[in-house]
Structure 1
Amino acid sequence: MSDLQPTPSGARLIGCAGWSIHKDAAAAFPEEGSHLERYARVFPAVEINSSFYRPHKPETYARWADSVPDAFRFSVKLPKSITHEARLRDADELLDRFAQETGALGYKLGCVLVQLPPRGVFDEASAADFLPRLRMRFGCMLALEARHPTWFGDAATTLLEQHAVTRVIADPPAGQPGPHVPTTLATYIRLHGTPKIYYSSYPPEFLARVERQIEKRRAGGGDVWCIFDNTAAFAAVPNALDVLRGVAAGGAAA
């Protein structure tokens, strides 16, 4: 854990869920290198979703870390064996394995993402036991995307605040009964695609609102992750490029 370093405060960490580059977007990236190397010369961050489905060897994470610039950051999704099968209970062995694997990213591990199942009801005792166990293993940002209404109540909010876990801003906002209530200064935005989840490309007016939200949240002093997960029809990379260019050009001024 000693080699983990926090991302500089106020960083804009815009990217996609995965680093595949479709031929239609290839012109925006260098021609030479692996997909990850080319991707990381344009984007500052990526979300690894494959870790949710299967483990990766430490050597694989180390190779990925060596492929990207020093300032690049990875967000890695917690395995479903912890979130969906164990339901956050009795998961020490699984957490140890995940921490040992992802530790090979070193300081480039910027966030651990916890996505809970749609039917994952908030159980205060289980959550209060799990979150400090997660926190003790990871010195980086922790983000949690809940998809059941019970995770948006006062008790859950307090618990996330106590353990410095960032509540994800998701689109569409599954399970969220009202406006977003932040739990840390940091921000993690996950854009899955609307109206067709994972497929739909976002229109320019929506992306402009995202740009303004990034700048507003960044002005508060926290790091801002913005990850496009609408990858099924290759919309994520063009959408993320538009937002990256928009904030870089200063077009998202409040």
Structure 2
Amino acid sequence: MDIRIGTAGWSIPPRHADLYPAEGSHLERYAALFDTVEINSSFYRPHRRTTYVRWADTVPETFRFSVKFPRTITHEHKLADTDELIAAFLDGVTGLRQKLGPLLIQLPPRLVFDHHRVAHFMETLRAQFDGALACEPRHPSWASDAAEDLLRDYQVARVDADPAVIPVINRTSSNAPLHYIRLHGAPEIYVSAYDDAFIAALANRIEKLDAPVWCIFDNTAWGAASDDGRRLKAALTARIQK
């Protein structure tokens, strides 16, 4: 089963430091426990290609990075007139080489689905990148059949987010190229840890999915993500070994 579990960023909260090895950089220590990480800092600022190369050289061969699209593309330009910005972003992230996983396109809550705009963006992106893509739209207009068809045409998975901003599209479709799950924490977003019942139900759901799974805990504000990820790994391991 192709299931990857990780957190948004690789910071190690002091209260969970004992989950990780004592020696090494934060990324080296993180990679001893998890096999993937979501790079969120790329949303706020560009990183040099050499930085991505260094990160890739730091982790084991089986480790994979997902990378969040810059806000200049998604929030400032709103996917329009982004040809040069896409090229610059891809020039950097491809420094991860074979350790590059999905690119995450998180859209602003007010971005209405515009077929022409989105199709041009996807066409430009796909002309330069044939890897995995996941999109997290947050405006109700993206619940339309037209949006679903367009994403399917370009082999883009919908993000399955918790809490769901748009409940009608919360679940990734069964024919998706991958399942990308982002867990922001509930009831308090980015803060709350998930209880054992939620983790058990999530493990049960993941086990039944029919495509590669990336599960990212984004409830990092107070460090809950590390322990939640560890508990999910343990729950899935127990189910698979039965």
Alpha-carbon displacement from aligned partner over 1:22-51 (angstroms, at most 9, x marks no partner): 121111111111010011111010000000
User: In the aligned structure 2, how far is the partner of 1:211 from the partner of 1:116?
Assistant: 27
Q: 1:57 aligns with which of 48, 59, 64?
A: 48
Deviation, 1:178, is: 5.6
Deviation, 1:181, is: 4.8
Corresponding residue of 2:238: 249
Kept in 2: contact 1:13–1:225 (CA 8 A): yes
Alpha-carbon displacement from aligned partner over 1:170-223 (angstroms, at most 9, x marks no partner): 001112336625161410000001111101111110011111121111xx2x11
The worse-fitting range, judged by mean Cα deviation, of 171-180 and 76-85 is 171-180
In the alignment, structure 1 residue 145 sits paired with structure 2 residue 136: yes
Deviation, 1:133, is: 1.5
Q: 1:212 aligns with which of 195, 198, 204?
A: 204
Alpha-carbon displacement from aligned partner over 1:68-125 (angstroms, at most 9, x marks no partner): 0111000000000000011101101100000000010001011100000011110111
Q: Secondary structure at the match of 2:168?
A: coil
User: In the aligned structure 2, how far is the partner of 1:63 from the partner of 1:228?
Assistant: 24
TM-score, normalised to structure 2, is 0.96
Q: Secondary structure at the match of 1:249?
A: helix
Deviation, 1:136, is: 2.3
Corresponding residue of 2:178: 186
The worse-fitting range, judged by mean Cα deviation, of 181-190 and 196-205 is 181-190
Q: 2:149 aligns with which of 150, 158, 172?
A: 158
User: In the aligned structure 1, how far is the partner of 2:8 from the partner of 2:15?
Assistant: 17
Q: What amino acid is the match of 2:176?
A: T
Moved over 6 A (4+): none
User: In the aligned structure 1, how far is the partner of 2:22 from the partner of 2:3?
Assistant: 25
Q: What amino acid is the match of 2:2?
A: A
Deviation, 1:252, is: 9.3
Q: Secondary structure at the match of 1:177?
A: helix
Q: What amino acid is the match of 2:198?
A: F
Q: In structure 2, do the counterparts of structure 1 residues 142 and 190 end up closer, same or farther at CA, with 3 Å as the change threshold? A: same
In the alignment, structure 1 residue 71 sits paired with structure 2 residue 71: no
Alpha-carbon displacement from aligned partner over 1:132-176 (angstroms, at most 9, x marks no partner): 212222232100001111111100000010000000000011123
Q: What amino acid is the match of 2:144?
A: G
User: In the aligned structure 2, how far is the partner of 1:40 from the partner of 1:73?
Assistant: 10
User: In the aligned structure 2, how far is the partner of 1:158 from the partner of 1:176?
Assistant: 18
User: In the aligned structure 2, how far is the partner of 1:204 from the partner of 1:24?
Assistant: 19
Kept in 1: contact 2:16–2:226 (CA 8 A): yes
Kept in 1: contact 2:61–2:99 (CA 8 A): yes
Q: What amino acid is the match of 1:142?
A: L
Structure 1 segment 1-254 matched on structure 2, within 5 A: 10-177=1-168, 180-182=171-173, 184-217=176-209, 220=210, 222-250=211-239
* Higher helix proportion (structure 1 or 2): 2
Q: Secondary structure at the match of 1:62?
A: helix
Kept in 2: contact 1:208–1:252 (CA 8 A): no
Q: What amino acid is the match of 1:99?
A: L
Kept in 1: contact 2:75–2:108 (CA 8 A): yes
Equivalent residue pairs, number: 241
Percentage of identical aligned residues: 49
